[in-house]
Amino acid sequence: MTDKPFYLTKEGRAKLEAEIEELETTGRMEVAERIRQAKELGDISESGEYEDAKNKQAFLEGRIREIRNILNNAQMIEEDGDNREVRLGSSVTIRYEDGEEEEWMIVGAAEASPRDGKISNESPIGSALMGKRARQKATASTPSGVMKMTVVKIR
């Protein structure tokens, strides 16, 4: 795994810490119980349940390693109230050329969730907005084409 920094808000760090706690306790116990039950059924060499439980265990342990890496290399996003330009942790309202407005919070890739209004500073729109001030224009090359937008408000 990489040692690059993962930018996190306080909320993002708390979510990851809660997730790893859940995985290391309840998640591991549930998988261990599934493996134990599958072994009790007899020949594990042909057991689909055993195979499925072992795959679940591998996925769970991989996710635990991934979260540990993120937390070990986390760089916290400071919220100092400076809203002059878009940066990590900023909430920004943008207006596209067609007049539609959207609000995004710029976060690190580890906690990006477009459904929740959080985009990565590494995404096409996020990177295009970084460093912009209110009323400045930005252009992003996205998979759906070039998007032109104006920064309306920064919080």
CATH of the domain at 114: 3.10.50.30
Number of domains observed in the structure of the chain: 2
Q: How many CA atoms lie within 13 A of 101 on its CB side?
A: 7
Name the residue range of residue 149's domain. Answer: 91-154
Partners of 77 in beta bridges: none
CA distances from 8 to 25, 69, 73 (A): 24, 13, 10
CATH number of the domain where residue 10 is located: 1.10.287.180
Does residue 84 form part of some domain? no
Partners of 95 in beta bridges: 101, 150
140 with 146: CB under 8 angstroms? yes
Phi-psi region of 42 (alpha: psi -120 to 50; beta: other; left: phi over 0): left
In this structure, what are the phi and psi dihedrals at residue 146, rounded to the nearest 5 degrees?
A: -80, 130
Q: Are 72 and 118 found together in one domain?
A: no
Q: How far apart are CA 128 and CA 121, in angstroms?
A: 9
Query: Over its length of 155 residues, how does the chain's per-residue pLDDT go in tens digits?
Result: 566 889 999 999 999 999 999 999 999 999 999 999 988 887 777 778 899 999 999 999 999 999 999 999 999 998 777 789 999 999 999 999 999 999 999 999 999 999 999 999 999 999 999 999 999 999 999 999 999 999 999 99
Query: If DSSP codes are grouped into helix, strand and coil, which group holds residue 106?
Result: strand
**Whole-prediction pTM:** 0.84
- Among the listed residues 133, 129, 113, the one whose alpha carbon sits nearest the alpha carbon of residue 121: 129
Does residue 86 form part of some domain? no
Pairing, β 74-76 against β 6-8: parallel
